[in-house]
A = this chain, B = another copy of it.
Amino acid sequence: MSRQHEPLRYRRRHGAAVTIHDVAARAGVSVATVSRVLNGKELVREETSRQVLEVAKSLRYVPNSAARTLSIRRSQTIGIVLPEVHGEFFSEVIRGIDLAARAAGYHILVSGSHSDAREMIDVLDAMRGRVDGLVVMAPDVALAPLRDQLAHKLPMVLLNSDDERHAAITIDNYGGARAMMKYLASLGHKRIAFIKGPEQNGDASERLRGYRQVMKAHGGSSRELEFEGDFTERAGFDAVQAILSLDPRPTAIFAANDSMAVGALSALAAAGIDVPRAMSLAGFDDIPIAHYVNPPLTTIGVDIAEVGRRAFAVLADAMQRGSNTRREECIGTTLVVRKSCAVPTSRIQKVRGRKKGEGS
């Protein structure tokens, strides 16, 4: 038996942090009382409470959260897992969640840069016991393996992915794309080229769907106006080359995201084509740069911080109920009109002509 080493309990080692026992001893009460005072829920005599609080403050006592977590099986922390932690989008999402989470007394444990599913699962597992819930944004390919491998049944909300078993927050890509298309149509555009996003990307396919829906509604549903793209500037640049060689040249280009629109803009400038006079151009996302390019880009804005906020709200609800229910929330978009779209030239002439005729 190991009874020969003297009990270390209550003996403060040098440099060690002050514990609830220290406070209890100094205040002349039991640890239970201290705990009760600090958590404030139970009945404690006014005077005892005051005294304990005083001692705690003078000792600069801060409860050890690992112990607390272990004991109550709640960490007051949520995990955020993203494929990347890079760029405006993710930073905004994190900010949105952070704000909401801190207001509710939660901390956030962030992990980014996960290329494959395996890595992602490792991170998720490593979060076990550290977090009470998860906000996950999985690259689409990683989602399927995730479902099965997940060891824990933690409350979880998905961003921009869909799933039958969890809550999801998505962006209204379809509605946004339609809104932009309707705007372009209202200006008088009929031949509108579309630069697509990556094949398997969910956002991309919804935006494409919106484009097609409006094109079809206006009678011009051919696929020859759709061009490949992968959300990079380069892709936008390249797509323009192909678009310009079309014979009845389109009067407008709608890129599935702003980065490609920016790339397209350079290509257009290089080809000496005036935007918006000779060609209208639209993007999607309203990244900060959209504001600065010349001309400023007309695009679809998404309140990204709101995505984060809502994600937390839904997660908070799931954590409270301790269950994961399928549920989808869709964040709306706004049409941001700047200077890159105008009435097509052919139309201007027509309109002028008619007016002249009417006037004379």
Partner of A110, one of B62, B70, B94, B293: B94
What is the 8 Å Cβ interface bit string for chain A, positions 125-154, against chain B (1 contact, 0 not)?
111111000000000000000000001110
Cβ contacts under 8 Å, A64 to chain B: 70, 128-129
Contact with B along A37-66 (1 / 0, CB 8 A): 000000000000000000000001011111
CB contacts (< 8 Å) of A70 on chain B: these are: 64, 66-67, 70
For A126, give its contact among B65, B98, B129, B292 (CB under 8 Å).
B65
In A127-186, the 8 Å CB interface with B consists of: 127-130, 151-153
In the bound assembly, the distance between CA atoms of A63 and B127 in angstroms comes to 10
**Residues A91 and B85 in contact in the complex (CB < 8 Å), given A126-B65, A289-B288:** yes
CA distance A95 to B113 in the complex (A): 8
Asked if A98 meets B77 with Cβ closer than 8 Å, knowing A66-B69, A109-B108, the reply is: no
Count the A residues whose beta carbon is within 8 Å of the partner chain — how many? 49
Q: Are A98 and B75 in contact (CB under 8 A)?
A: no
A262 interface residue per 8 A CB criterion:
yes
- Contact indicator B130/A65 (Cβ below 8 Å): yes
- Chain B contacts for A17, CB-based, 8 A: 128-129, 152
Q: Does A319 contact B (CB under 8 A)?
A: no
Residue of B with least CB distance to A84: B95
Cβ of A99 < 8 Å from any Cβ of B?
Answer: yes
Q: Report the separation of the CA atoms of residues A191 and B276 in the bound assembly, to the nearest whole angstrom.
A: 39
> What's the nearest-Cβ distance from chain B to residue A55, in Å?
15
Interface check A102, CB cutoff 8 A = yes
Could you mark each residue 288-302 of chain A with 1 if its beta carbon is under 8 Å from any beta carbon of chain B, else 0? 110011100000000
| A322 CB to nearest B CB, Å | 9
Tell me whether A126 and B107 are in contact (CB under 8 A): yes
The one of B68, B94, B107 that contacts A109, using a Cβ cutoff of 8 Å:
B107
Most buried by B among A63, A86, A294: A86
Sample of 27 A–B contacts (CB below 8 Å) = A15-B153, A17-B128, A17-B129, A62-B125, A62-B126, A62-B152, A65-B126, A65-B128, A66-B66, A66-B129, A77-B130, A85-B98, A86-B95, A87-B88, A91-B91, A95-B112, A95-B113, A98-B110, A99-B113, A102-B111, A102-B113, A107-B109, A107-B130, A108-B109, A108-B110, A108-B111, A289-B289
Given A65-B126, A94-B94, A262-B292, 10 more A-B residue pairs with CB atoms under 8 Å apart are A62-B126, A62-B151, A70-B70, A84-B95, A85-B98, A91-B91, A94-B110, A108-B110, A289-B289, A289-B292
Smallest CB-CB A-B distances: 6 pairs? A91-B91, A64-B129, A66-B69, A65-B129, A66-B70, A60-B151
